[in-house]
């Protein structure tokens, strides 16, 4: 079941759903979701000379990324066909009895920008800023501004609280992330053991 605006407000007031900062609840809390804003740090891949990203090699991913910080009032230009990582301005915390999904806002999708390729699912117990997988599917560059409402988070109830929520006890590699975080696939035990 999806939490309604009434339930979202109640769970935020109780402190078990955390959205910080939630500067404009009247605007950001929608009937069945909460709008999240775009942060000012982006990670782009500079790959003109790279034949392959090796998923087992952490340097293969981090070695080809560049961090870009956008100053107040400026925008980040996402070129047609380009992929970049961004993050939400808000830090969220999901309690053990809920899961969440981050989705793009309709107004963003209508200018051909998507906010996640596959990583829209947010586990129970997750805390941190949400890394957004930004892609421009259109034929024209799009300028995105830090602070704009770019995505929405939807919370779903589970049949029971998770026994082992996302977090340090599980060795969860993205817990507490701040800003866009590149893939940490290379530290997966199954991949490292091969």
Res 62 pLDDT > 80: no
Domains with residue ranges and CATH for the chain: 5-49+65-170 (2.70.40.10)
Confidence bin at 13 (pLDDT 50/70/90): very high
CA-based radius of gyration for the chain:
17
Is the confidence at residue 162, as pLDDT, over 70? yes
Give residue 189's pLDDT: 60
Q: What is the pLDDT of residues 134-145, one digit of tens each?
A: 999 999 999 999
- Using the predicted structure, report yes or no on whether residue 192 has a pLDDT greater than 70: no
Does residue 61 register a pLDDT over 70? no
Kindly report, residue by residue over 177-187, the tens digit of the pLDDT. 888 887 777 77
Q: What was the pLDDT predicted at 48?
A: 61
User: Who wins on pLDDT, 118 or 189?
Assistant: 118
pTM of the model: 0.89
Q: Is the dihedral of CA 163, 31, 175, 172 positive or negative?
A: positive
Kindly state the average pLDDT of the residues 3-27.
Answer: 97
Percent of the chain with pLDDT over 70: 92
What is the predicted pLDDT for the residue at 173?
A: 78
**Predicted pLDDT of residue 78:** 96
**Mean pLDDT throughout 152-163?**
96
Residues annotated as catalytic are 133
**By C-alpha distance, which of 58, 55, 64, 103 is closest to 84?**
64
């Amino acid at each position: 079941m999806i939490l309604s605006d009434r339930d979202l407000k109640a769970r935020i007031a109780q402190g078990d759903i955390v959205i910080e900062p939630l500067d404009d609840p009247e605007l950001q809390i929608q009937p069945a979701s909460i709008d999240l804003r775009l942060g000012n740090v982006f990670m782009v891949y500079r790959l003109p000379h790279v034949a392959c990203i090796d998923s087992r090699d952490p340097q293969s991913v981090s070695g080809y990324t560049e961090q870009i910080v956008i100053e107040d009032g400026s925008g980040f230009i996402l070129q047609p066909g380009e992929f970049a990582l961004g993050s939400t301005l808000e830090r969220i915390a999901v309690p053990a009895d809920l899961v969440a999904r981050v989705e793009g806002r309709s107004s963003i999708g209508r200018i051909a920008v998507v906010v996640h390729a596959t990583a829209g699912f947010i586990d129970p117990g997750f805390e941190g800023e949400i890394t957004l997988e930004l892609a421009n599917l259109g034929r024209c560059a799009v300028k995105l501004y830090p602070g704009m409402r770019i995505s929405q988070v939807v919370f779903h109830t589970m049949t029971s609280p998770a026994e082992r929520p996302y977090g340090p006890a599980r060795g969860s590699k993205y817990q507490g992330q701040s800003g866009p975080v590149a893939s940490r696939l290379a530290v997966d035990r199954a991949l490292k053991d091969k």
